[in-house]
């Protein structure tokens, strides 16, 4: 029989080795998987996407910016551009590069798959928002056109991705860029968030952590060079101006839709109190949103809080005559008027 101490040491070594190899994110196996992204086709497609993005935003693309966005050296980027132009996907002009019609349609196909996948993740899975983009970066190179179309049909042919970007149609149509930066609003002006840029990842994660989402209503309170103060769905938020650059908004004009004070949520009801549903936060998506709407949680429905569970959460609500328990995290996202 092996001595117990020796056995324990061997066990410890084996466990550590397995962890080093298979640990999610940091393990050798997942690193190897990530490194395979350096393949040629992936680079070509990522470069096309980057150039298209520049053209869409009316800025100039350079060899350096391509190298920076693809995490390759400038020499490799230059070589890549030559490859693209011999493939007939782009032409070189004096002040930069321009996609040919063929290159543009290739880029749009990749973008369509990317955004469809993000929409799918947002609506049909529980993958957290900060991981949508990186997952789509992988999926866009893997899915075939037929698979992408099947996915689009399955999720109801959406027009926008969850960040508010339009999804190109199968024939490659995409509307011109619209909306303004949040910084363009004057104090007291109201607007809807139409787009939250998902790159760089760290900035996006910070915006998501603030509870911002596409479709949220904002009102500018004050802005200075150091900070921007604004109300989002009535709650005050303070951000650095750099962060607000990632937010695109569209002003709203109709007076009656303006949210002037913080919204009350269903979770704020005391037992026995009644309230009318105003809206379900757009941050609640997919199955959970559909489930609530199926149960009759729609604007105008009157809901009464009936009782709390013995452990305090969830709470049971009377919705259209049925007793339905909802968790606090979900009740927080249903806005009501008492």
CA 74/CA 70 separation, integer angstroms = 10
Distance CA 280, CA 68 (A): 40
Rounded to whole angstroms, the Cα distance separating 74 from 63 reads 6
Q: Does 168 bind other proteins (CB under 8 A)?
A: no
Q: Which two tokens stand for residue 6?
A: 């020796």
The pair phi, psi for residue 21, each rounded to 5°, is -80, -45
The region of 29-37, 77-85, 157-165, 253-261 touching other proteins under the rule CB under 8 A is: 157-165
Q: Is 205 in the site for other proteins (CB under 8 A)?
A: no
Site residues for other proteins, 261-290, by CB under 8 A, read 280, 282, 286-290
| From 35-43, 53-61, 64-72, 303-311, span contacting other proteins (CB under 8 A) | 303-311
**Candidate segments 91-99, 118-126, 202-210, 232-240, binder of other proteins by CB under 8 A:** 118-126
Q: Determine how many CB atoms are found less than 10 A away from the CB of residue 135.
A: 16
Minimum distance from CB of 216 to other proteins (Å)?
Answer: 13
Return the residue of 77, 182, 330, 336 that touches other proteins, per CB under 8 A.
Answer: 330
Paired strand residues for 195: 248
DSSP letters, 28-41, are HHHHHHHHGGGSHH
Who's near 298: CB < 8 A, 6+ residues apart?
A: 277
Q: Does residue 307 sit in helix, strand or coil?
A: strand
Distance (Å) of CA 224 to CA 94, 205, 244? 39, 23, 12
Q: For other proteins, which residue of 26, 146, 175, 261 counts as binding (CB under 8 A)? A: 175
Burial call 82-91: b when 16+ CB within 10 Å, e when fewer: eebeeeebbe
Identify which of residues 1 and 202 has a Cβ nearer to other proteins in the complex: 1
Six-digit token string for 22: 């298979």
Binding span for other proteins by CB under 8 A among 40-48, 90-98, 251-259, 300-308: 300-308
Shortest distance (Å) from residue 4 CB to other proteins: 4
- The smaller minimum CB distance to other proteins, of residues 87 and 138, is found at 138
Q: What are phi and psi of 50, to 5 degrees?
A: -65, -45
Using CB under 8 A, which of 61, 97, 136, 292 touches other proteins? 292
User: Does position 180 bind other proteins by CB under 8 A?
Assistant: no
Stretch that binds other proteins, among 85-93, 105-113, 119-127, 181-189 (CB under 8 A): 119-127
Q: Is the CB of 172 or the CB of 241 nearer to other proteins?
A: 172
Q: With contact defined as beta carbons under 8 Å apart, do 109 and 172 qualify?
A: yes
State the residues that interact with other proteins by CB under 8 A: 1-2, 4-5, 7-8, 11, 24, 121, 124-128, 156, 158-160, 164, 166, 169, 173, 175, 214-215, 280, 282, 286-293, 295-296, 298-300, 306-314, 316, 318, 322-327, 330
């Amino acid at each position: 029989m092996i001595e117990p101490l020796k056995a324990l040491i061997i066990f410890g070594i084996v466990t550590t080795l397995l962890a080093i190899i298979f640990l999610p994110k940091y393990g050798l196996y997942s690193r190897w998987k990530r490194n395979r992204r350096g393949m040629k086709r992936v680079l070509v497609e990522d470069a096309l996407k980057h150039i298209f993005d520049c053209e869409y935003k009316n800025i100039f693309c350079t060899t350096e910016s391509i190298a920076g966005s693809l995490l390759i050296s400038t020499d490799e980027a230059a070589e890549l551009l030559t490859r693209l132009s011999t493939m007939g996907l782009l032409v070189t002009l004096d002040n930069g590069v321009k996609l040919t019609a063929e290159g543009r349609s290739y880029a749009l196909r990749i973008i369509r798959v990317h955004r469809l996948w993000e929409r799918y993740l947002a609506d049909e899975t529980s993958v957290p928002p900060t991981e949508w983009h990186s997952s789509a970066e992988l999926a866009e190179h893997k899915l075939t056109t037929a698979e992408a179309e099947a996915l689009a049909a399955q999720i109801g042919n959406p027009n926008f991705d969850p960040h508010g970007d339009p999804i190109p149609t199968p024939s490659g149509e995409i509307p011109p860029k619209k909306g303004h930066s949040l910084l363009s609003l004057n104090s007291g002006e109201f607007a809807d968030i139409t787009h939250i840029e998902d790159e760089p990842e760290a900035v996006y994660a910070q915006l998501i952590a603030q509870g911002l989402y596409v479709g949220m209503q904002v009102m500018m309170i004050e802005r200075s060079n150091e900070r921007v103060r604004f109300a989002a769905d009535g709650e005050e938020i303070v951000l650095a101006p750099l962060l607000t650059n990632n937010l695109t908004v569209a002003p709203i004009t109709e007076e009656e839709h303006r949210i002037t004070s913080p919204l009350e949520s269903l979770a704020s009801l005391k037992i026995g109190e009644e309230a009318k549903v105003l809206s379900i936060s757009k941050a609640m998506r997919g199955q959970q949103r559909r489930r609530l709407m199926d149960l009759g949680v729609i604007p105008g429905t009157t809901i009464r809080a009936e009782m709390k569970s013995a452990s305090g959460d969830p709470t049971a609500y009377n919705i259209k005559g049925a007793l339905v328990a909802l968790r606090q995290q979900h009740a927080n996202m249903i806005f009501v008027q008492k």
